[in-house]
Protein backbone atom coordinates (compact mmCIF):
# COMPACT_ATOMS: atom_id res chain seq x y z
CA UNK A 1 0.00 0.00 0.00
CA UNK A 2 2.71 2.47 1.02
CA UNK A 3 4.93 1.53 -1.92
CA UNK A 4 1.96 2.01 -4.26
CA UNK A 5 1.54 5.51 -2.89
CA UNK A 6 5.27 6.25 -3.16
CA UNK A 7 5.23 4.99 -6.71
CA UNK A 8 2.21 7.12 -7.56
CA UNK A 9 3.83 10.30 -6.25
CA UNK A 10 7.36 9.34 -7.31
CA UNK A 11 8.76 9.64 -3.77
CA UNK A 12 12.42 8.67 -3.21
CA UNK A 13 12.39 8.06 0.52
CA UNK A 14 10.07 8.05 3.47
CA UNK A 15 11.26 8.29 7.07
CA UNK A 16 8.99 7.43 9.99
CA UNK A 17 10.10 9.06 13.23
CA UNK A 18 8.89 7.97 16.63
CA UNK A 19 10.15 9.06 20.03
CA UNK A 20 8.20 7.62 22.90
CA UNK A 21 9.52 9.98 25.56
CA UNK A 22 8.51 13.21 23.83
CA UNK A 23 5.51 11.70 22.01
CA UNK A 24 6.95 12.52 18.59
CA UNK A 25 5.26 10.89 15.64
CA UNK A 26 6.47 12.35 12.38
CA UNK A 27 6.95 11.43 8.74
CA UNK A 28 9.60 12.94 6.48
CA UNK A 29 9.07 12.55 2.74
CA UNK A 30 12.00 13.15 0.41
CA UNK A 31 10.38 13.40 -2.96
CA UNK A 32 13.24 14.09 -5.34
CA UNK A 33 16.87 15.13 -4.83
CA UNK A 34 17.98 15.25 -8.47
CA UNK A 35 18.52 19.02 -8.43
CA UNK A 36 19.76 19.26 -4.85
CA UNK A 37 18.83 18.60 -1.23
CA UNK A 38 15.13 18.33 -0.50
CA UNK A 39 14.02 21.56 1.17
CA UNK A 40 10.53 21.85 2.60
CA UNK A 41 8.79 22.84 5.80
CA UNK A 42 7.56 20.81 8.74
CA UNK A 43 3.81 20.94 9.18
CA UNK A 44 2.29 20.15 12.58
CA UNK A 45 -1.34 19.14 12.39
CA UNK A 46 -3.72 16.87 14.33
CA UNK A 47 -4.23 14.44 11.45
CA UNK A 48 -7.22 12.17 11.97
CA UNK A 49 -5.22 9.14 10.83
CA UNK A 50 -1.74 8.04 9.86
CA UNK A 51 -2.94 7.55 6.28
CA UNK A 52 -4.11 11.15 6.12
CA UNK A 53 -0.70 12.37 7.35
CA UNK A 54 1.11 10.15 4.86
CA UNK A 55 -0.98 11.29 1.90
CA UNK A 56 -0.46 14.93 2.90
CA UNK A 57 3.30 14.67 3.32
CA UNK A 58 3.94 12.95 -0.02
CA UNK A 59 1.63 15.34 -1.89
CA UNK A 60 3.27 18.38 -0.29
CA UNK A 61 6.77 16.98 -0.89
CA UNK A 62 6.06 16.55 -4.60
CA UNK A 63 4.76 20.12 -4.69
CA UNK A 64 8.10 21.33 -3.29
CA UNK A 65 10.05 19.50 -6.01
CA UNK A 66 8.03 21.25 -8.71
CA UNK A 67 8.24 24.60 -6.96
CA UNK A 68 12.02 24.49 -6.59
CA UNK A 69 12.55 23.19 -10.12
CA UNK A 70 10.21 25.71 -11.77
CA UNK A 71 11.80 28.53 -9.76
CA UNK A 72 15.19 27.55 -11.21
CA UNK A 73 16.65 26.54 -7.83
CA UNK A 74 19.24 23.85 -7.33
CA UNK A 75 17.06 22.17 -4.75
CA UNK A 76 14.92 19.10 -4.54
CA UNK A 77 11.59 18.71 -2.81
CA UNK A 78 10.66 17.32 0.56
CA UNK A 79 8.32 17.91 3.43
CA UNK A 80 7.70 16.67 6.94
CA UNK A 81 4.59 16.32 9.06
CA UNK A 82 4.38 16.00 12.82
CA UNK A 83 1.16 14.37 13.95
CA UNK A 84 -0.15 16.47 16.83
CA UNK A 85 -2.01 19.58 17.85
CA UNK A 86 0.29 22.62 17.65
CA UNK A 87 -1.73 24.28 20.43
CA UNK A 88 -1.31 21.41 22.92
CA UNK A 89 1.37 18.95 21.91
CA UNK A 90 4.49 21.07 21.41
CA UNK A 91 7.60 20.79 23.56
CA UNK A 92 11.31 21.41 23.27
CA UNK A 93 11.90 17.66 23.63
CA UNK A 94 9.56 16.90 20.73
CA UNK A 95 11.28 19.26 18.31
CA UNK A 96 14.73 18.21 19.45
CA UNK A 97 13.81 14.57 18.90
CA UNK A 98 12.60 15.54 15.45
CA UNK A 99 15.83 17.49 14.83
CA UNK A 100 17.84 14.34 15.58
CA UNK A 101 15.94 12.50 12.86
CA UNK A 102 16.51 15.34 10.39
CA UNK A 103 20.20 15.17 11.26
CA UNK A 104 20.41 11.47 10.45
CA UNK A 105 19.62 12.38 6.84
CA UNK A 106 22.85 14.44 6.69
CA UNK A 107 21.41 17.20 4.51
CA UNK A 108 19.35 15.12 2.10
CA UNK A 109 16.38 16.85 3.75
CA UNK A 110 16.46 20.44 5.04
CA UNK A 111 13.51 21.62 7.05
CA UNK A 112 11.76 24.97 7.55
CA UNK A 113 8.64 26.49 9.11
CA UNK A 114 5.22 25.59 7.83
CA UNK A 115 1.62 25.59 9.05
CA UNK A 116 1.66 24.87 12.81
CA UNK A 117 5.38 25.47 13.37
CA UNK A 118 7.28 28.62 14.37
CA UNK A 119 10.73 30.15 14.53
CA UNK A 120 11.08 28.91 18.11
CA UNK A 121 10.38 25.34 16.98
CA UNK A 122 13.05 25.71 14.28
CA UNK A 123 15.48 26.93 16.96
CA UNK A 124 14.90 23.72 18.95
CA UNK A 125 15.50 21.66 15.80
CA UNK A 126 18.64 23.73 15.19
CA UNK A 127 20.07 22.53 18.50
CA UNK A 128 20.29 19.06 16.99
CA UNK A 129 21.01 19.71 13.33
CA UNK A 130 22.34 22.38 10.96
CA UNK A 131 19.83 21.23 8.31
CA UNK A 132 17.14 23.74 9.21
CA UNK A 133 16.17 27.18 7.87
CA UNK A 134 13.87 29.87 9.24
CA UNK A 135 15.66 29.98 12.60
CA UNK A 136 16.15 33.09 14.77
CA UNK A 137 18.25 35.97 13.40
CA UNK A 138 21.20 35.16 15.69
CA UNK A 139 21.51 31.81 13.88
CA UNK A 140 21.52 33.45 10.43
CA UNK A 141 17.84 33.56 9.58
CA UNK A 142 16.33 35.41 6.64
CA UNK A 143 13.64 36.85 8.93
CA UNK A 144 9.97 37.35 8.16
CA UNK A 145 9.40 35.88 4.67
CA UNK A 146 6.20 37.80 3.89
CA UNK A 147 7.68 41.02 2.43
CA UNK A 148 10.00 38.98 0.21
CA UNK A 149 7.21 36.66 -0.91
CA UNK A 150 5.15 39.78 -1.68
CA UNK A 151 7.98 41.21 -3.79
CA UNK A 152 7.99 37.95 -5.78
CA UNK A 153 4.22 38.01 -6.20
CA UNK A 154 4.51 41.59 -7.45
CA UNK A 155 7.05 40.41 -10.06
CA UNK A 156 4.65 37.62 -11.02
CA UNK A 157 1.81 40.09 -11.53
CA UNK A 158 4.06 42.32 -13.66
CA UNK A 159 5.06 39.31 -15.79
CA UNK A 160 1.41 38.36 -16.28
CA UNK A 161 0.54 41.95 -17.22
CA UNK A 162 3.34 41.91 -19.76
CA UNK A 163 1.96 38.72 -21.26
CA UNK A 164 -1.63 39.96 -21.49
CA UNK A 165 -1.25 43.71 -22.03
CA UNK A 166 2.18 43.79 -23.67
CA UNK A 167 3.71 45.81 -20.81
CA UNK A 168 4.49 45.17 -17.12
CA UNK A 169 3.29 48.69 -16.32
CA UNK A 170 0.54 48.47 -13.72
CA UNK A 171 -0.41 52.14 -13.55
CA UNK A 172 -4.17 52.50 -13.80
CA UNK A 173 -4.71 48.73 -13.60
CA UNK A 174 -7.41 47.61 -11.18
CA UNK A 175 -6.22 44.81 -8.91
CA UNK A 176 -8.59 42.94 -6.60
CA UNK A 177 -6.88 41.37 -3.59
CA UNK A 178 -8.51 38.54 -1.65
CA UNK A 179 -7.12 38.53 1.89
CA UNK A 180 -4.86 41.38 2.99
CA UNK A 181 -2.77 39.49 5.55
CA UNK A 182 1.01 39.29 5.94
CA UNK A 183 1.93 38.84 2.28
CA UNK A 184 -0.83 40.88 0.67
CA UNK A 185 -0.31 43.85 2.95
CA UNK A 186 3.19 44.23 1.49
CA UNK A 187 1.98 43.32 -1.98
CA UNK A 188 -0.55 46.18 -1.83
CA UNK A 189 2.36 48.52 -1.04
CA UNK A 190 4.23 47.47 -4.19
CA UNK A 191 1.08 47.65 -6.31
CA UNK A 192 0.13 51.08 -5.01
CA UNK A 193 3.62 52.38 -5.69
CA UNK A 194 3.32 51.05 -9.25
CA UNK A 195 0.14 53.09 -9.72
CA UNK A 196 -2.44 50.31 -9.50
CA UNK A 197 -5.92 50.84 -8.07
CA UNK A 198 -6.69 48.44 -5.24
CA UNK A 199 -9.91 46.70 -4.29
CA UNK A 200 -9.58 44.50 -1.21
CA UNK A 201 -11.45 42.12 1.01
CA UNK A 202 -10.70 40.17 4.18
CA UNK A 203 -12.60 38.35 6.89
CA UNK A 204 -10.71 40.42 9.47
CA UNK A 205 -12.02 43.99 9.44
CA UNK A 206 -8.79 45.36 10.91
CA UNK A 207 -6.85 44.08 7.90
CA UNK A 208 -9.31 45.70 5.51
CA UNK A 209 -9.16 48.99 7.40
CA UNK A 210 -5.37 49.01 7.27
CA UNK A 211 -5.34 48.60 3.47
CA UNK A 212 -8.01 51.29 3.04
CA UNK A 213 -6.17 53.69 5.32
CA UNK A 214 -2.63 53.12 4.05
CA UNK A 215 -3.21 52.42 0.36
CA UNK A 216 -6.48 54.17 -0.32
CA UNK A 217 -7.92 50.78 -1.29
CA UNK A 218 -11.65 50.26 -1.86
CA UNK A 219 -13.18 47.61 0.41
CA UNK A 220 -15.72 45.06 -0.83
CA UNK A 221 -17.45 42.05 0.74
CA UNK A 222 -15.80 38.61 0.83
CA UNK A 223 -18.12 37.22 -1.86
CA UNK A 224 -18.16 40.41 -3.91
CA UNK A 225 -14.42 40.15 -4.60
CA UNK A 226 -15.07 37.57 -7.34
CA UNK A 227 -17.58 39.70 -9.22
CA UNK A 228 -15.91 43.14 -9.21
CA UNK A 229 -14.76 44.27 -12.66
CA UNK A 230 -10.95 44.39 -12.61
CA UNK A 231 -7.83 43.65 -14.63
CA UNK A 232 -6.06 41.38 -12.16
CA UNK A 233 -7.40 39.17 -9.39
CA UNK A 234 -4.83 38.36 -6.70
CA UNK A 235 -5.92 35.52 -4.36
CA UNK A 236 -3.85 35.89 -1.20
CA UNK A 237 -5.91 34.03 1.42
CA UNK A 238 -6.76 30.36 1.14
CA UNK A 239 -6.59 27.57 -1.44
CA UNK A 240 -9.28 26.06 -3.66
CA UNK A 241 -10.90 29.40 -4.49
CA UNK A 242 -10.83 28.82 -8.26
CA UNK A 243 -13.72 26.39 -8.51
CA UNK A 244 -17.11 25.69 -10.10
CA UNK A 245 -18.79 28.35 -7.96
CA UNK A 246 -16.36 31.18 -8.65
CA UNK A 247 -15.01 30.76 -12.20
CA UNK A 248 -18.08 32.08 -13.99
CA UNK A 249 -18.10 35.17 -11.77
CA UNK A 250 -14.57 36.36 -12.56
CA UNK A 251 -14.20 39.50 -14.67
CA UNK A 252 -10.40 39.63 -14.52
CA UNK A 253 -8.03 38.97 -17.44
CA UNK A 254 -5.35 37.72 -15.06
CA UNK A 255 -5.33 35.64 -11.87
CA UNK A 256 -2.02 35.93 -10.00
CA UNK A 257 -1.62 35.86 -6.25
CA UNK A 258 0.20 34.46 -3.24
CA UNK A 259 -2.20 31.76 -2.07
CA UNK A 260 -1.15 28.11 -2.34
CA UNK A 261 -3.20 25.61 -4.34
CA UNK A 262 -5.63 28.14 -5.80
CA UNK A 263 -7.14 25.65 -8.26
CA UNK A 264 -9.62 23.36 -6.55
CA UNK A 265 -8.99 20.85 -9.33
CA UNK A 266 -6.68 20.98 -12.33
CA UNK A 267 -9.66 21.16 -14.67
CA UNK A 268 -10.43 24.59 -13.22
CA UNK A 269 -7.09 25.76 -14.62
CA UNK A 270 -8.07 24.39 -18.02
CA UNK A 271 -11.43 26.18 -17.78
CA UNK A 272 -9.73 29.50 -17.00
CA UNK A 273 -7.50 28.99 -20.03
CA UNK A 274 -10.52 28.27 -22.24
CA UNK A 275 -12.14 31.46 -21.00
CA UNK A 276 -9.08 33.46 -21.99
CA UNK A 277 -8.05 34.27 -18.40
CA UNK A 278 -4.33 33.97 -17.73
CA UNK A 279 -3.78 32.02 -14.53
CA UNK A 280 -0.18 32.53 -13.41
CA UNK A 281 0.82 29.28 -11.65
CA UNK A 282 0.59 29.92 -7.91
CA UNK A 283 3.65 27.93 -6.93
CA UNK A 284 5.87 30.00 -9.21
CA UNK A 285 4.24 33.32 -8.29
CA UNK A 286 4.72 32.64 -4.56
CA UNK A 287 8.15 31.00 -4.82
CA UNK A 288 9.84 34.10 -3.33
CA UNK A 289 9.42 32.58 0.13
CA UNK A 290 11.35 29.47 -0.86
CA UNK A 291 13.99 31.39 -2.82
CA UNK A 292 14.53 33.65 0.20
CA UNK A 293 14.85 30.86 2.74
CA UNK A 294 17.11 28.82 0.45
CA UNK A 295 19.58 31.71 0.48
CA UNK A 296 20.25 30.87 4.14
CA UNK A 297 22.08 27.77 2.93
CA UNK A 298 24.87 30.02 1.59
CA UNK A 299 24.90 32.42 4.56
CA UNK A 300 21.95 34.75 4.12
CA UNK A 301 22.43 37.91 2.06
CA UNK A 302 19.29 39.96 1.62
CA UNK A 303 20.36 41.65 -1.61
CA UNK A 304 21.27 38.40 -3.31
CA UNK A 305 17.98 36.85 -2.17
CA UNK A 306 15.96 39.78 -3.55
CA UNK A 307 17.87 39.66 -6.85
CA UNK A 308 16.99 35.99 -7.16
CA UNK A 309 13.35 36.62 -6.22
CA UNK A 310 13.17 39.30 -8.95
CA UNK A 311 13.94 36.52 -11.45
CA UNK A 312 10.39 35.23 -10.97
CA UNK A 313 9.52 37.80 -13.65
CA UNK A 314 11.73 36.09 -16.25
CA UNK A 315 10.89 32.62 -15.04
CA UNK A 316 7.19 33.29 -15.61
CA UNK A 317 8.01 34.86 -18.99
CA UNK A 318 9.61 31.55 -19.99
CA UNK A 319 6.61 29.60 -18.70
CA UNK A 320 4.14 31.81 -20.59
CA UNK A 321 6.16 31.38 -23.78
CA UNK A 322 6.20 27.63 -23.32
CA UNK A 323 2.45 27.66 -22.75
CA UNK A 324 1.91 29.62 -25.96
CA UNK A 325 4.16 27.30 -27.98
CA UNK A 326 2.35 24.20 -26.80
CA UNK A 327 -1.11 25.79 -26.61
CA UNK A 328 -1.48 24.72 -23.00
CA UNK A 329 -2.39 26.62 -19.83
CA UNK A 330 0.53 28.21 -18.00
CA UNK A 331 0.08 26.02 -14.93
CA UNK A 332 0.67 22.95 -17.09
CA UNK A 333 3.67 24.63 -18.72
CA UNK A 334 5.15 25.23 -15.24
CA UNK A 335 4.88 21.51 -14.42
CA UNK A 336 6.39 20.71 -17.81
CA UNK A 337 9.32 23.03 -17.19
CA UNK A 338 9.92 21.55 -13.73
CA UNK A 339 9.88 17.96 -15.02
CA UNK A 340 12.08 18.88 -17.97
CA UNK A 341 14.71 20.48 -15.72
CA UNK A 342 14.87 17.38 -13.56
CA UNK A 343 15.02 14.97 -16.49
CA UNK A 344 17.60 17.08 -18.32
CA UNK A 345 19.79 17.22 -15.23
CA UNK A 346 19.67 13.43 -14.92
CA UNK A 347 20.99 13.15 -18.49
CA UNK A 348 23.45 16.03 -18.73
CA UNK A 349 24.15 17.42 -15.24
CA UNK A 350 23.01 20.75 -16.68
CA UNK A 351 20.74 22.88 -14.51
CA UNK A 352 19.63 25.18 -17.31
CA UNK A 353 16.52 24.89 -19.43
CA UNK A 354 18.36 25.20 -22.75
CA UNK A 355 16.62 23.44 -25.60
CA UNK A 356 13.24 23.68 -23.93
CA UNK A 357 11.97 26.65 -25.95
P1 LIG B 1 -2.05 35.42 6.47
O2 LIG B 1 -2.80 34.48 7.33
O3 LIG B 1 -1.20 36.46 7.11
O4 LIG B 1 -3.06 36.19 5.50
C5 LIG B 1 -4.22 35.60 4.97
C6 LIG B 1 -5.32 36.65 5.04
O7 LIG B 1 -6.48 36.12 4.43
C8 LIG B 1 -5.70 37.02 6.48
O9 LIG B 1 -5.75 38.42 6.60
C10 LIG B 1 -7.08 36.37 6.64
O11 LIG B 1 -7.89 37.09 7.53
C12 LIG B 1 -7.59 36.44 5.22
N13 LIG B 1 -8.67 35.50 4.92
C14 LIG B 1 -8.88 34.25 5.39
N15 LIG B 1 -9.99 33.72 4.86
C16 LIG B 1 -10.49 34.65 4.02
C17 LIG B 1 -11.62 34.69 3.17
N18 LIG B 1 -12.49 33.68 3.11
N19 LIG B 1 -11.83 35.80 2.43
C20 LIG B 1 -10.98 36.84 2.51
N21 LIG B 1 -9.89 36.86 3.31
C22 LIG B 1 -9.66 35.78 4.05
O23 LIG B 1 -1.20 34.51 5.48
P24 LIG B 1 0.00 34.95 4.53
O25 LIG B 1 1.28 34.56 5.16
O26 LIG B 1 -0.20 36.35 4.06
O27 LIG B 1 -0.22 33.95 3.32
C28 LIG B 1 -1.25 34.14 2.38
C29 LIG B 1 -1.24 32.99 1.38
O30 LIG B 1 0.00 32.94 0.70
C31 LIG B 1 -1.44 31.61 2.02
O32 LIG B 1 -2.17 30.80 1.13
C33 LIG B 1 -0.02 31.09 2.13
O34 LIG B 1 0.03 29.68 2.12
C35 LIG B 1 0.60 31.65 0.88
N36 LIG B 1 2.07 31.82 0.96
C37 LIG B 1 2.62 32.59 1.93
C38 LIG B 1 4.00 32.75 1.98
C39 LIG B 1 4.65 33.62 3.02
O40 LIG B 1 5.84 33.95 2.86
N41 LIG B 1 3.94 34.04 4.06
C42 LIG B 1 4.82 32.09 1.04
C43 LIG B 1 4.22 31.31 0.04
C44 LIG B 1 2.84 31.19 0.02
Q: What is the mean pLDDT of each run of 10 residues along the chain (357 residues)?
A: 90 98 98 97 96 95 95 95 97 98 98 93 96 88 90 98 98 98 97 98 97 98 97 96 97 97 96 98 96 92 96 96 97 95 86 63
Domain covering 144-357 in this structure, CATH number:
3.40.50.720
Report CA(7)–ligand 1 centroid distance (Å).
Answer: 32
Say what the pLDDT of residue 243 is: 97
Say what the pLDDT of residue 350 is: 73
Q: Whose CA is nearest to atom 27 of ligand 1?
A: 183
Pocket of ligand 1 (CB under 6 A): 145-146, 149, 178-184, 201-204, 207, 222, 236-238, 258-260, 286, 289
Report CA(126)–ligand 1 centroid distance (Å).
Answer: 27
Q: Whose CA is nearest to atom 9 of ligand 1?
A: 181
Long-range (24+ apart) CB contacts under 8 A made by 193-199 are 194/154, 194/158, 194/169, 194/170, 195/169, 195/170, 195/171, 196/170, 196/171, 196/172, 196/232, 197/172, 197/173, 199/174, 199/175, 199/225, 199/228, 199/230
Say what the pLDDT of residue 314 is: 96
Q: Please tell me whether the overall predicted TM-score, pTM, comes out greater than 0.85 for this model.
A: yes
Say what the pLDDT of residue 356 is: 63
| CATH fold label, 2-63+75-139 | Rossmann fold (3.40.50)
Q: Where are the domains of the chain?
A: 2-63+75-139, 144-357
Nearest atom within ligand 1 for CA of residue 115: 34
For the annotated catalytic residues, the residue numbers are 79
Note whether 2-63+75-139 and 144-357 share their fold: yes
Report CA(156)–ligand 1 centroid distance (Å).
Answer: 17
* Neighbouring-strand partners of residue 132: 111
Q: How far apart are CA 157 and CA 286, in angstroms?
A: 11
H helix or E strand, kind and range, residue 43: strand 42-45
Report CA(185)–ligand 1 centroid distance (Å).
Answer: 10
Q: Whose CA is nearest to atom 29 of ligand 1?
A: 259
Amino acid sequence: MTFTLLDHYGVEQLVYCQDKQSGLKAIIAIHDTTLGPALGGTRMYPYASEDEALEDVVRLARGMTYKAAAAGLQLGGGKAVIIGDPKKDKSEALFRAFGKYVNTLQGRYITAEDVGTTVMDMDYIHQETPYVTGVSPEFGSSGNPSPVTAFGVFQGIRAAANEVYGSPDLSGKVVTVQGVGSVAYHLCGFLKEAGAELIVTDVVQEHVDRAVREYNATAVGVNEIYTVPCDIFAPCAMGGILNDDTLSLLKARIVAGAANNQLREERHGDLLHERGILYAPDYVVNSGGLINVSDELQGYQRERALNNVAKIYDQLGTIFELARQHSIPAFRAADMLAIHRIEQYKKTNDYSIEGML
